[in-house]
Structure 1
């Protein structure tokens, strides 16, 4: 069982996060704290596996809390669940070793996915003295939070895979949404949504071609990274 400490200054959000976390198999919230100072006091005499923390907190904010954890050599992983969107904050906590960063408001499925990925990592490292490269790939950014496994709300995996596979098979060729629609017999509006999603996760590149008449053409292409 993975022991969790939640650090959140809003009692309502704290209780909501606690309920969310305990719906995921393998996790148990053993303590909660309203700020970083309270959390550090608990951690001086208790061990946990995972800390779920906010950035914006009184007395000791989340970044200072994580720095102090590291200074005291407290061995616990940290996932931030916060409204902080500043890139400096995100960059700093990731450099300090945070294993994930969720921006409020977030979908419950995103938190569930993060915890399930963490659980796989935890089990793999705890149960084995030596692991293979492919195992490491599963717990690093290549496999740990694999974006292909998290489909945007409203999109269907089977349709996404059809369009993704079509673009991969036609590597390096630009297509309009109309052309993909004709090839796959899927409505143009639907195809456009999925192509835009694949662009948003950097699987496709988009080029806008401006003609002399009418609207510009949106051209999509898959390239090997």
Structure 2
């Protein structure tokens, strides 16, 4: 199964970049692209899609206006915001309308992939639950869809447990390079996993500026979890 995806973005170059990023993931299929919110609304009144990648600032009909219309008309589609809009009023309004994730331009491919993984984890958790969910399942879903029992594509449970154990046994905060050295993982892999755990709220990250050079990001378990 592929998730039917539309892109709503007035900048053709940004829209194409979003399309390239989405199509790197075989779980998704881009079915159409729109340069303004009203055109997307007309299309969604007669077609079905699972996910919209939505900008805020567009002519004729903004992303915020489109999302309000979608919710008001109960059109069933999930939304990932991809926008330069970062003022608190806009962010708060969009979060209240139930967006699945919010990416502020410019963003990295890794962060974009995390948004796709989060969407898939939410869909898979709901499907696995069937017609009803226990309180614990609801709690996990509300705290973070990525911890609802489904790991994102490209992550292995045994590697995640290895990184968790490394941080649990460490007496001080560790850089991703230090995690790599202690676990035998590559630096890139260690960084991906500690960042994932940070996204899930399992790990706290801080920046060490006292390195004598480039600042280093350090990772540790929250106090009381060691």
Please tell me whether Structure 1 or Structure 2 has the larger radius of gyration of its CA atoms. 1
Classify 1:199/1:34 alpha carbon distance in 2 versus 1 (closer, same or farther; 3 Å). Answer: closer
| Aligned counterpart, 2:223 | 223
Cα distance in 2 for partners of 1:199, 1:4 equals 27
| Aligned counterpart, 1:141 | 143
Alignment of 1:20-99 (within 5 A): 20-99=21-100
Cα distance in 2 for partners of 1:73, 1:56 equals 23
Structure 2 unaligned residues grouped into runs of 5+: 153-159, 183-190, 207-219
Question: Paired residue for 1:165, among 156, 164, 168?
Answer: 168
User: Please, what is the CA RMSD of the aligned residues?
Assistant: 3.8
For the Cα contact (< 8 Å) 1:199–1:205, is it kept in 2?
A: yes
For the Cα contact (< 8 Å) 1:7–1:36, is it kept in 2?
A: yes
Q: Secondary structure at the match of 1:12?
A: helix
TM-score of the superposed pair, with normalisation by structure 2: 0.66
| Aligned counterpart, 2:12 | 11
Cα distance in 2 for partners of 1:42, 1:176 equals 50
Q: Does 1:110 align with 2:111?
A: yes
Structure 1 unaligned residues grouped into runs of 5+: 151-156, 186-193, 207-219
Deviation track 1:190-215 (CA, whole Å, cap 9, x = no partner) reads xxxx9xx9999795598xxxxxxxxx
| Aligned counterpart, 1:132 | 134
Q: Secondary structure at the match of 1:110?
A: helix
TM-score of the superposed pair, with normalisation by structure 1: 0.67
Deviation track 1:10-61 (CA, whole Å, cap 9, x = no partner) reads 0111111111111113111111100101100101101111111001111111
For the Cα contact (< 8 Å) 2:167–2:221, is it kept in 1?
A: no
Aligned-pair CA distance for 1:74: 1.0
For the Cα contact (< 8 Å) 2:84–2:106, is it kept in 1?
A: yes
Cα distance in 1 for partners of 2:25, 2:67 equals 24
